[in-house]
Amino acid sequence: MTLRTDRLVLSAPGPADADDVVAYANDPDVIAFTPVPVPYGHAEAHQFIERVGDGWRDDTRYDFGIRRVDDPRLLGTVGVFGFVDGAAEIGYALHPDGRGHGFVTEAAARVLEWAFAAPPIGLGLVRVQWRALGTNAASAATARRIGMRYEGRSRSAVVHRGVRHDQLLAAVLRDDDRTAPTDWPTP
C-alpha cells in the first residue's frame, strides 16, 4: 500500500530502512515523548520493521514510512493502530532533519483520508484519536493542524520512563471539517 501527497511517498518501511529508523529513534524528542526502547540499535530497528510487516499482514496496525518524493531516506513514520469498533489511534514521529516543513501534517492528513475512506479504498473508520504526553506541544500542534478536536487532559494518567504525566486527548470524526480548530488550549 502506497499513499502519495504533493511532497511525500508513504509506504511501509522495510529492512533497508533500519539505519534511518535507528537515526530518528535516537532523537531526544522521540525518546522523551514516545515509548521507543532505550538504547535503540539495529536489533530494535529490525524488530520494529518486523512488527510493521506483521501489522500489515494481520491487519492489527498500519504503519507508513514518510519519504520525500525525491529522496529514498526514511524520515519517520505515521501509523494507525488500536482498532476498536470503527475507531483507531494515530501516531507519528519524524527525524529532526525533516521537521518544520509540515511533512507530518501532510502525511498524517493523507493517512486520515485513507483511514476514513470506505473500503475497498480505505479502512472505513469513523473516529481517529490522538494521545500524547501533556508537555508534547509539537505533537499537539500537528494534531490540531490535521483537524483533531481537543477532548481533554487526563491528569497524571500515564507513566513514561518512570515518571507520571498528564495525557492529552483529541480526535477527529469521519464527517468533521478537517481544518485546524482554533479552540485548543495553549500548552
Ligand X SMILES: CC(C)(COP(=O)(O)OP(=O)(O)OC[C@H]1O[C@@H](n2cnc3c(N)ncnc32)[C@H](O)[C@@H]1OP(=O)(O)O)[C@@H](O)C(=O)NCCC(=O)NCCS
Which parts of this chain interact with ligand X (CB under 6 A)? Answer: 29-30, 33-34, 91-94, 99-105, 132, 136, 138-139, 142, 145
How big is the chain, counted in residues? 187
Cα separations in angstroms, 30 against 34, 53, 91, 163: 5, 22, 12, 16
Distance CA 116, CA 132 (A): 22
State in angstroms the smallest separation of the CB of 103 from ligand X.
Answer: 5
Contact of 57 with 47, CB cutoff 8 Å: no
State in angstroms the smallest separation of the CB of 131 from ligand X.
Answer: 7
Closer by beta carbon to ligand X, 117 or else 138? 138
State in angstroms the smallest separation of the CB of 50 from ligand X.
Answer: 21
Closer by beta carbon to ligand X, 18 or else 143? 143
State in angstroms the smallest separation of the CB of 118 from ligand X.
Answer: 27
Closer by beta carbon to ligand X, 129 or else 139? 139
Q: Which segments of 12-110 are extended strands (E)?
A: 61-68, 76-84, 87-94
Distance CA 62, CA 60 (A): 7
For residue 136, the one-letter residue type is N
State in angstroms the smallest separation of the CB of 18 from ligand X.
Answer: 18
Closer by beta carbon to ligand X, 101 or else 155? 101
Beta 8-11 vs 2-4: how paired, if at all?
antiparallel
Closer by beta carbon to ligand X, 49 or else 106? 106
Which residue has 518501511 as its cell numbers?
13
Contact of 1 with 56, CB cutoff 8 Å: yes
